[in-house]
Amino acid sequence: MHKLGLLFGLMLLFTGAMGQVKDTIPDSTKMVQLQDSLKAGDAQDTTRKETRAERRARKKAEKEREKYYYKDILKDSTRLEIERLSRVAWKRSLILPGWGQYTNGGIWWVKTPIIYGGFVAAYLTFDYWNWYYNMFLDELKYREEFGQPSSGPLGFETNWSDQGLIAQKDYGRRNRDLTILVTVGWYGLNVVEAYVDSILKNRWNISNDLSFKISPTLMPNYAYTPGTGMFSGTSFVTPGVKMTFKIR
C-alpha cells in the first residue's frame, strides 16, 4: 500500500510538472516572436530611405575621399601638390585670362599676348558684323516708315530689294553671334591650356632641350646606270650638312 501511494504521488508530481511546462511554452514562443519583430524593425530602420541632408553629407564625404585616394590607394604628398598646382592654374585663368599661364611659368610672356590678341581680334570682328547688321536693319526700318529707299553707303536706293536686305541682315546677325561663340571658346581654350600645361610640366619632362646639333658631313654620290634600273655608287662624295636632334 505504501508503494502504491508513493507511485500515485509521483504520478501527480509528474502531471503537475508537465502542466507547468505547457504553461511556459506560450511565453517562450511569445518571446521569440517579440525578438523576431524587433529584428525586423531594426532591418527596416537600416534600409530606410536616406534624406536629402544625409545624401549630401555622404556625397561630400565621397568627394573628400577622392581628394586623397585614387582607386583605394592613398595619394602621397607629391601627387596632392601636383593636383593642387593644376587646380590653381586653371582657376586663375578662369578668373583672369593669362594668369594661369603666368603661374605655370615658361613662355607665358608669349602666350599671354596671344590670348589677349585673340580677344582684341574677336572684339573688332564683332564690332564689324554688328555694324553690318545694324546698317541693313536701319534701311529696312527706313523703308517701312517712309515707303522708299534711302541713300545708304551701299547704294540702297538702286541696288537692294527688300528680300536682299533681309538676307544680308540675317547674314550679319549670324556672323555676329558666331563671333560671340568663338570668343567664349577662345576663353575656354585659355583655361584648358593652363590646366594641360600645368600637368605636363609637373608630371612629364617636356624640356625645351632638343639636343639640336648641326655638323658638316660628306655624302656618297650615287648615280643611276641606264638600262640596269639600279643606282651604283661612285668614288665621288658630295659635301653636306647633317642635323641631329633628340626629343625628350
Average pLDDT value for residue range 121-143: 93
Which has more pLDDT, 158 or 169? 169
Tens digits of per-residue pLDDT, 194-223?
999 988 887 765 555 556 677 777 776 665
Distance CA 181, CA 95 (A): 19
Same domain assignment for residues 83 and 189: yes
b/e map of 62-93 (b: 16 or more CB within 10 Å)? eeeeeeeeeeeeeeeeeeeebbeebebbbebb
- Tell me if 66 is assigned to some domain: no
Same domain assignment for residues 192 and 81: yes
Single-letter amino acid code for the residue at 162: D
Q: What is the pLDDT of residue 8?
A: 53
Same domain assignment for residues 148 and 184: yes
What SS3 class is residue 208? coil
Contact of 234 with 219, CB cutoff 8 Å: no
Look up residue 92 and give its three cell numbers: 586663375
Same domain assignment for residues 105 and 29: no
Same domain assignment for residues 4 and 120: no
Same domain assignment for residues 83 and 139: yes
Tens digits of per-residue pLDDT, 90-129?
999 999 999 999 999 889 999 999 999 999 999 999 999 9
Average pLDDT value for residue range 129-134: 94
Q: How many domains is the chain built from?
A: 3
The CA–CA distances, whole Å, from 75 to 62, 67, 78, 87 equal 15, 8, 8, 16
Q: What is the pLDDT of residue 240?
A: 75
- Given a cut of 50, whether residue 58 has pLDDT beyond it is yes
- Give residue 217's domain range: 213-244
Q: Is 130 buried (19+), middle (13-18) or exposed (0-12) by CB count in 10 A?
A: middle
Same domain assignment for residues 175 and 218: no
Tens digits of per-residue pLDDT, 28-49?
555 545 556 555 555 555 567 7
Q: What is the pLDDT of residue 26?
A: 46
Give this prediction's pTM: 0.55
DSSP 152-200: -TT-HHHH--HHHHHHHHHHHHHHHHHHHHHHHHHHHHHHHHHHHHHHH
Same domain assignment for residues 123 and 193: yes
